[in-house]
Structure 1
Amino acid sequence: MHFLWKNLVRSGSVVTPYLRRSFSENLPVLTLYTKEQCSLCDDAKEILQKFSKKFVLEEVDITAPGNEEWKQLYQYDIPVFHFNGKYLMRHRVDEKLFQKKLEEKSII
């Protein structure tokens, strides 16, 4: 677990306080590919607040050193969301889709 935490921080990711808790609770991880001054990203985080105890939010700043691949891939599409490592959605939060994914993981 320490290894994962260290790699997330080193890769330019910002991990919410829920990450440490999730290791013991086995919560799903929603990765948000973002950057500074992204109003759609801010809107998405606000919407996701109501689900905050049901998942871990990992934010990856695509402009951070070491994240050039993500920047190349998503620079015109943020926010982009991956659920447990797989692409889920982009631009806006689809609450119904996200809730369905959480239900599949028996979180809701």
Structure 2
Amino acid sequence: MIVHYYTRKNCGLCDEGKLMLELAQEDHGFEIEERDIDTSDEWTEKYGLMIPVVEADGEIIQAGRIDFVTISKRFQKKS
């Protein structure tokens, strides 16, 4: 499964969220595709006020402060 991680440069919250996402990745084996919202007008408009955003299967799993427990619970359901 591919998980899209919407982020931007110089975003401390995004850096913290990526660490949580990588920890969950170790447990659940999904692939992370990082997307810089500043490279796409569509992504900037859609996610600009929400980043960081974790999305899988077209569903936003979490936005803002990303936590390991929420991410892990979502992928346990899919396993």
TM-score class normalised by the smaller sequence: 0.7 to 0.9
Instruction: Note the C-alpha offset of 1:71.
Output: 0.2
From 72, 89, 98, the equivalent of 2:71 is: 98
Alignment correspondent of 1:84: 57
Instruction: Note the C-alpha offset of 1:61.
Output: 0.8
Instruction: Note the C-alpha offset of 1:51.
Output: 2.1
RMSD: 1.4
Note the residue ranges of structure 1 that are not aligned, 5 or more in a row: 1-27
Instruction: Note the C-alpha offset of 1:80.
Output: 1.1
Highest RCO, 1 vs 2 (Cα 8 Å, sep ≥ 6): 2
Alignment correspondent of 2:20: 47
1:70-103 Cα distance to aligned partner (Å, 9 max, x none): 1012112210111222111101113222112111
More strand by share: 2
The normalised TM-score by structure 2 is 0.83
1:37-56 Cα distance to aligned partner (Å, 9 max, x none): 11111001112222223211
Identity %: 32
Q: Which runs of 4+ in 1 moved over 3 A?
A: none
> Contact 1:31–1:85 (CA<8 Å) still a contact in 2?
no
* Number of aligned residue pairs: 77
Note the residue ranges of structure 2 that are not aligned, 5 or more in a row: none
